[in-house]
Structure formats: C-alpha cells, structure tokens
Amino acid sequence: MTIRYLSLAGEFNEQALPLYASRVPAGFPSPADDYIEGRLDLNKYLIQKPAATFFARAEGDSMIGAGIQPGDLLIVDRSARPVHNSIVVAALDGELTCKILDTHHRCLRSVNPHYPPIKILPGSDFSIEGVVLHSIHHHVRVSGL
C-alpha cells in the first residue's frame, strides 16, 4: 500500500457538528430520537496533537484486512510511539508505505496474505513517519475526495 501525503492537521478550522445521544442500530430500525447530546468537532475527536498530525490517502490493497481500503484517509501522528504491531506510515529506501510494524522480525507486514513481509535490512534508508491512529472510509465515493 502506497501513501499519498495530503496536508497537516493544523491547517483545518474547528467545526462542531451535532452528536446525537442515541446509538444508531445497524440491524432493525428503531424509533428516531431527536435528542442531541452535544456538539462534536471531529478535529478534536480524531486529532490529539495537531502540530504532529498529518493526513495521507491510502492506495493499494495490502491493508484491507486491517480495514484500510484504497482511497481511505489516514490520520497519522508523528509523535505517537510506534510499538510492535502498530500500523505505521514508513519510509523505506525513498518510498512511503502503510504497513504493520513487526519489531520481533524487523519487518513491515501487510494484512493481505498476497504480499510478503518487507525486511528492514541493516543499512537500509528506513524511518517511521508516524503511527496511523484512524482511517476514514467513504462508503459512497464523492468526486474530488
């Protein structure tokens, strides 16, 4: 899965939208509940450290098993400490990729079994650009997104 850099989180303005108190069942419909719990700013909800956060667009199918689809928006935190099995955006020999960090075997793993692990060899140009905290998946593709 390759990554396309979009922007820094600090470039967006605060926008609070209604948050309904009732849960939305994914099974049978229930009577509507008009009670609004409060206002929700997705920037505050999804971004812990705006100065250290960037957005990237996922490309490819190597992370589908982790719920990351081609075209999904990744919210990546540079300040988050990557640990074994973290989903990371890494730079390896000049290429950005989104993979699972396997510290036990010194490699980057895909979730899709059709892709072999990528070994991190001594002397390779390797860095972790950040930890993927969230991915946003569009169920209906909107042009321009």
Please identify every residue annotated as catalytic. 62, 99
CA pair distance 110, 92, nearest whole angstrom = 14
Contact 21, 36 (CB under 8 A): yes
Residue 74, helix vs strand vs coil: strand
The residues that bridge with 128 in the sheet, in sequence order, are 90
Question: Of how many residues is the chain composed?
Answer: 145
CA pair distance 2, 8, nearest whole angstrom = 18
Residue 46, helix vs strand vs coil: helix
